[in-house]
Amino acid sequence: MLVIRFLRVGKKNQPSFKIVVVDKRRSSKSGRFLEEVGFYNPLTKEKVLKADRIKYWLSKGVRPSPTVHNLLIKEKILEGKKIPKHKKPKKKPSFAKATEGKEKKP
């Protein structure tokens, strides 16, 4: 399955990312990708996206990673809602509520 995801490049503490189309089963760090469709530098907020190539790959059924999906929505290449970064943790039942229905036997 193909995905559009970030490929980290740059020095230590100076990240920048290539936006690439890659097979999901392969490691993104291997550097083997099908096509580079953009570039993103989070420090300078510089973005270069090939919108026509991204739309082509999306039409072929390639899915973007959640972070790339949010970036594409921000740049108005995709329409829809952003994917939340962090899921809310499920609340565990408290001990008092769990033992409330049980009665102690003498």
DSSP one-letter string for 72-86? HHHTTSS-SPPPPSS
In a domain, 102, yes or no: no
In a domain, 82, yes or no: no
Q: Which pTM was predicted?
A: 0.75
Quote the number of domains for the chain: 1
In a domain, 56, yes or no: yes
Q: How far is CA 8 from CA 13, 28, 41, 61, 70, in A?
A: 11, 8, 10, 24, 17
Is pLDDT of 6 > 70?
yes
The CATH number for 28's domain is 3.30.1320.10
Domain residues for 15?
2-74
> What are the phi and psi torsion angles at 73 (to 5°)?
-70, -40
In a domain, 24, yes or no: yes
Look at residue 4 in the predicted model and tell me its pLDDT. 94
Is pLDDT of 98 > 60?
no
Look at residue 32 in the predicted model and tell me its pLDDT. 85
In a domain, 38, yes or no: yes
In a domain, 92, yes or no: no
